[in-house]
Amino acid sequence: MTGPARLVRPRRVAEVSALLGGARPVAGGTDLLVQRRAGAPHHSLVDLTGLEDAPPPLRVTAGPSPSLVLSAVAPIAVVVDALDGRFPALADAAAFFASQQIRNRATIGGNLATGSPAADTVPPLLAAGAVVTIRGADGEREAPLEDFLLGPRAVDLRPAEWILAVTVPAPPAAGGYRKVGGRRALAISFLDLAWQWRADDGVLRDVRLAMGSVAPTVVRLRGAEAELEGRRVTPDVAHAAIAAVQADIHPIDDLRASAGYRRRCAAGLLREALGSIDARHPHPAASHTHLALPTTSTSCEHPTCPVSAGDIVA
Ligand SMILES: Cc1cc2nc3c(=O)[nH]c(=O)nc-3n(C[C@H](O)[C@H](O)[C@H](O)COP(=O)(O)OP(=O)(O)OC[C@H]3O[C@@H](n4cnc5c(N)ncnc54)[C@H](O)[C@@H]3O)c2cc1C
With respect to residue 90, please indicate whether it lies within any of the assigned structural domains.
Answer: yes
Q: Which of 102, 121, 145 to mutate to test the pocket of ligand 1 (most atoms within 8 A of CB)?
A: 102
Same domain, 160 and 82: yes
Same domain, 30 and 114: yes
User: Which has the closest alpha carbon to 144: 160, 167, 161, 162?
Assistant: 167
- Centroid of chain to Cα 12: 28
Q: How far is the CA of 158 from the centre of ligand 1 (A)?
A: 19
120 touches ligand 1 (CB under 6 Å): yes
Query: CA-CA distance, 153 to 165, in Å (whole number)?
Result: 20
pLDDT in tens, 165-195: 999 998 777 899 999 987 777 778 889 999 9
Q: How far is the CA of 188 from the centre of ligand 1 (A)?
A: 12
Amino acid at 80: V
- Cβ atoms of residues 124 and 115 within 8 Å: no
With respect to residue 59, please indicate whether it lies within any of the assigned structural domains.
Answer: yes
- Cβ atoms of residues 283 and 199 within 8 Å: yes
98 touches ligand 1 (CB under 6 Å): yes
Here the CATH number for the domain that contains residue 212 is: 3.30.390.50
Same domain, 37 and 138: yes
pLDDT band at residue 301 using 50, 70 and 90 as cut-offs: low
Mean of the per-residue pLDDT values for the chain? 88
Could you tell me the residue range of the domain that residue 219 belongs to?
175-287
51 touches ligand 1 (CB under 6 Å): no
With respect to residue 304, please indicate whether it lies within any of the assigned structural domains.
Answer: no
With respect to residue 306, please indicate whether it lies within any of the assigned structural domains.
Answer: no
Q: Which of 31, 35, 166, 184 to mutate to test the pocket of ligand 1 (most atoms within 8 A of CB)?
A: 31
Query: CA-CA distance, 197 to 158, in Å (whole number)?
Result: 34
With respect to residue 292, please indicate whether it lies within any of the assigned structural domains.
Answer: no
Query: CA-CA distance, 70 to 131, in Å (whole number)?
Result: 10
Same domain, 162 and 214: no
Q: What is the pLDDT of residue 172?
A: 76
Q: Give yes or no for residue 98 having a pLDDT over 60.
A: yes
Same domain, 200 and 89: no
pLDDT in tens, 130-150: 999 999 999 999 999 999 999
With respect to residue 245, please indicate whether it lies within any of the assigned structural domains.
Answer: yes
Same domain, 17 and 160: yes
Of 117, 136, 169, which residue is a domain's last? 169
CA dihedral of residues 187, 168, 151, 311 (deg, nearest 10): 50
Q: How far is the CA of 108 from the centre of ligand 1 (A)?
A: 8
Here the CATH number for the domain that contains residue 110 is: 3.30.465.10
Same domain, 126 and 85: yes
Same domain, 182 and 87: no
Q: How many domains does the chain have?
A: 2
With respect to residue 314, please indicate whether it lies within any of the assigned structural domains.
Answer: no
With respect to residue 299, please indicate whether it lies within any of the assigned structural domains.
Answer: no
Query: CA-CA distance, 132 to 280, in Å (whole number)?
Result: 30
